[in-house]
Chain A
Amino acid sequence: MTKLLSPANENVLFLGNEAIARGALEAGLAVASGYPGTPSSEVIEALASVARKRNLYVEWSVNEKVALEVAAAASFAELRSMAVMKQNGVNVASDFLLHLTASGTRGGLVLVSCEDPGALSSVNEGESRYFARMLEMPLLEPADFQEAKDLTKWAFELSEQIGNVVMLRSVTRMSHASGNVICGKLPVRSRRAKFEYGGAVMDSQTGPMISTPVVAKHLLHQQRLKVIEELFERSSFNRYIGPAKPDLLILTSSACFLYAKEALEMLHLQKRVGILKLGTTWPLPPKLLKTHLQKTQQILIVEEVMPFLEEQVKVLASGMSPHVGRKTFFGKYDGALPSAGELNPDIVAGAIGAILKVKRKILSKSYLSEIKKATEMIPVREQTFCAGCPHRASFWNIHTAIALDGREGFVCGDIGCYSMAALSPATGYHTMPTLHSMGSGTGLACGFAKLSQFDFHKPVLTVCGDSTFYHAVIPALINAQHNRADITFIVLDNAGTAMTGFQPHPGLKVSALREAVPPVDIVSICQAIGVQVAVSDPFDLSATSKILTSFLAERGSVKALILRQACALSPEKKGKKPYTMQVNEELCLGDACGCNRLCTRIFRCPALTWNQSRKKAMVDEVICAGCGVCASICPQQAIVKYNGT
């Protein structure tokens, strides 16, 4: 049934992330850990689905730092392990990572970072390739699906060769794209764990796993890197396609290789432009680079997002200039390619065309003018909370309480679907003006709450999701309590890591492997910290507003409200409607009502629409999830709920 375990030589359509998982399986992976985050989550999900069959241990860890620690322990015990996260996760894990690269590893340990150029599903487009350089960690970047599998497998071998972490970097257009992969062999036997630590301090196989003596170990690591560099010089993951003497040489890696290839086809320049595709992007192999730099005078570096390759290539090229001569470089520094956002074939073709003064065949003027006309009638489709989303009800409650309180309270936001309250302010009823990393909402709230001696008296609220609570909020909540921050702390508990696809978290009774595990209760943690706690159902507008209003009125302490209601898309809810909703047209006063279309204009549920011809509200039965909340907001009680479907 599961294609992840397809036999060798089978040609399978894999998601990039599944290809990474398959590569790890072919390498004899034993332990995998991660924290969900788009576009990385499917790697761990895929591995969890075959864990029993392949005798793996797979877990969703509480956060990325712990995930890397769990994977490192397996490596110290001579097993092959992998930690998987999105780009922000590498920041979270980086404190341990810095120490881990200093102590070294034993069993192959691969850190997979799936990054998001253009921030398609993120609140930043930061990249972690710079960690590779900073921590002197070999870095691999697959440029297609076959490579995603093959490079992952190789990464484990390299890691064991160098006795240190190897980083594999993917991007959204690789992780969340799919393509053909020819499967390799799955190993038959798995290793036994053993952890030796009685040997000499410099013996990396039997000594203690520590970073001291720091300088000696650092030098040893750098010597081993030279060996890796030699392997990279000969690696078939670095390859050149194009003429012997190109007019322009493109240096590229990752999905950008596919864009560059496509761009040359679009411009019919395959005979004039060459591409050196690099699968090993740190350390860069200097001899290989020298060979190719000698081919031409003009070099374009195509990469996302920061000029990581560009900077390295320029440094190496300046050292080689007596041999390769002076070059003209194009890339991010000179503005040939945009310095922010993701690339695509058109952007790359534009840059190549500008350098070589070649024009692309474009559509006729008349067709373009028809397109322009069509474009003008297309309304934007803003992201919003789904129909039946508990967050809409929660923010409705928060907005009501802040308005009743009258002191211009505001919410410090956090990372989850509820981030939309900040990204699209009308969705959060203009209550949430800050949004940063996981857990920072509560930390920021602590800070705002301590500004009263500087005449800042607005009530401070903060929200976080259930998974975020465990990930990074607990220390900030302790900080709030201990430093007596006057905040209203709200957990939007929708029973899972909803945004990334309902991965379990420590609050649930089930693990990544679908085994029964003890849930860690949010209410008990809050109580143990000593804060006042209340629990409510956000769909119950009157009860929830009452608690929130009283919390805002109570000064000088931390008040915690846990709003519990499962996500509308959760497996247990999806497709089931608790209520059938209908607008009673006799009661709905339409434009004549003083509410000024509160239901459709302000509440903003995708299932509540305005019937233009009848001038009344209307429920779209296809979209409505039957949560029943809108029945509580209509001042005329014209929206009626009936039990069941």
Chain B
Amino acid sequence: MKTEVKIITKNLILTGVGGQGNVLASRTLAGMLVEAGYVVTIGETFGMSQRGGSVMSHLRISPNEVKSPQIPYGQADVIVGLEPLEALRVLTIYGNPQICVLSNSRPVYPIGVITGELPYPPPEMIEAAFGRLCERYWMIDATAAALRFGNPVFSNIIMIGALAQTGLLPFDRRMFEREIRKTLPRDKCVVNLMAFDAGVSMIK
């Protein structure tokens, strides 16, 4: 497995808003990569920080050593955003000209935006910023796709499927299936695989 994709240390940040399934997505990704023989360090904060606030998981994928659970500023390789504003926020701290971003396009408005105190940047402005700050980026409406499965919470798995299709990380559908079979009951595996496939099909 390790020889398929040459990898030094890959730094991935998964970000979103509390309740979007950030932690589950990062554990699933990490589980697959550990199985494939990598040394994976995940750094995350949860607890009070998840109550409607920004959440972020740092994944360090190394061939041989434990890394700091916090990625240094400007040194992420990949950002996966379950929410576009959060992807942009992380990009401004951890971005560099070689970075790739995969983001859900569906906004979750901060409370300041809801109350009318703050503006939420229009989608085309967020996309333009991605264009200027990233080597490559993908914006997909994972929430809309998830609602077709009956629950917006599937958007995290759709994003994992999309991430697999980008080829940015060394994992595939077979590894995903093996991983969720370990952690989920059988009936949940079927719909999660469907969500994964939906994500795959959204990356052209």
Contacts and interface: CB of A to CB of B under 8 A. Distances in A.
Given A145-B66, A262-B72, A381-B17, A417 B40 contact: no
Interface range on chain A: under 10, 10 to 19, 20 to 34, or 35 or more? 35 or more
Contact of A604 (B40, B49, B72, B111): B111
A600 B53 contact: no
B125 interface: yes
Given A600-B116, A604-B114, A622-B147, A344 B70 contact: yes
A158 interface: no
A38 B46 contact: yes
A134 interface: no
A575 B72 CA distance: 36
Contacts of A500: 47
Given A39-B47, A180-B66, A499-B48, A600 B114 contact: yes
**Most central of A121, A172, A178, A604 by chain B CB within 10 Å:** A178
A363 interface: yes
Given A378-B92, A379-B85, A622-B143, A178 B30 contact: yes
Interface residues of B, number: 64
Contacts of A344: 68, 70, 72
B102 to A, nearest CB: 17
Given A385-B52, A606-B109, A622-B152, A177 B115 contact: no
Contacts of A386: 18-19, 51-52
Interface string B72-90: 1111000000000110110
Interface stretch (A202-210, A253-261, A330-338, A466-474): A253-261
Contacts of B119: 377, 379
Contacts of B88: 374, 378
Given A38-B47, A379-B110, A606-B114, A345 B68 contact: yes
B108 interface: yes
Given A378-B89, A384-B52, A262 B67 contact: yes
A362 B91 CA distance: 15
A306 to B, nearest CB: 20
B52 A261 contact: no
Contacts of B17: 381
Given A374-B91, A378-B89, A384 B111 contact: yes
Given A13-B34, A367-B133, A381 B85 contact: yes
Given A173-B69, A622-B143, A381 B86 contact: yes
**Most central of B52, B71, B113, B153 by chain A CB within 10 Å:** B52
A245 interface: no
B51 A380 contact: no
Contacts of A579: none
A177 B110 contact: no
Interface string A563-599: 0000001000001000000000000000000000100
Contacts of B96: 363, 367
Contacts of A261: 68
B129 interface: yes
A255 B68 contact: yes
A467 to B, nearest CB: 15
B201 interface: no
Contacts of A375: 92
**Most central of B69, B143, B147 by chain A CB within 10 Å:** B69
A370 interface: yes
Interface in A310-361: 344-346, 349
Interface string A508-522: 000000000000000
Interface string B1-18: 000000000000000011
Nearest to A371: B92
Contacts of A172: 45
Contacts of B91: 371, 374
**Most central of B40, B95, B109, B153 by chain A CB within 10 Å:** B109
Contacts of A176: 43-47
Interface in B110-130: 110-116, 118-121, 125, 129
A502 interface: no
Interface string A414-442: 00010110000011000000000000000
Interface in A395-421: 417, 419-420
A371 to B, nearest CB: 5
Given A39-B47, A345-B68, A383 B116 contact: no
Contacts of B52: 381-386, 606
Interface string A598-631: 0011101110111000000000101100000000
Interface in B147-172: 147, 151-153
Contacts of B192: none
A146 B108 CA distance: 38
Contacts of B86: 381
Contacts of B153: 575
A384 B111 CA distance: 7
A13 B26 CA distance: 12
Contacts of B68: 255, 258-259, 261-262, 344-345
Contacts of A601: 115-116
B132 interface: yes
A380 B118 contact: yes
B106 interface: yes
A259 B143 CA distance: 36
A499 B47 contact: yes
13 contacts: A38-B46, A180-B34, A180-B66, A261-B68, A262-B72, A344-B70, A367-B97, A378-B88, A381-B86, A386-B52, A499-B48, A606-B52, A622-B108
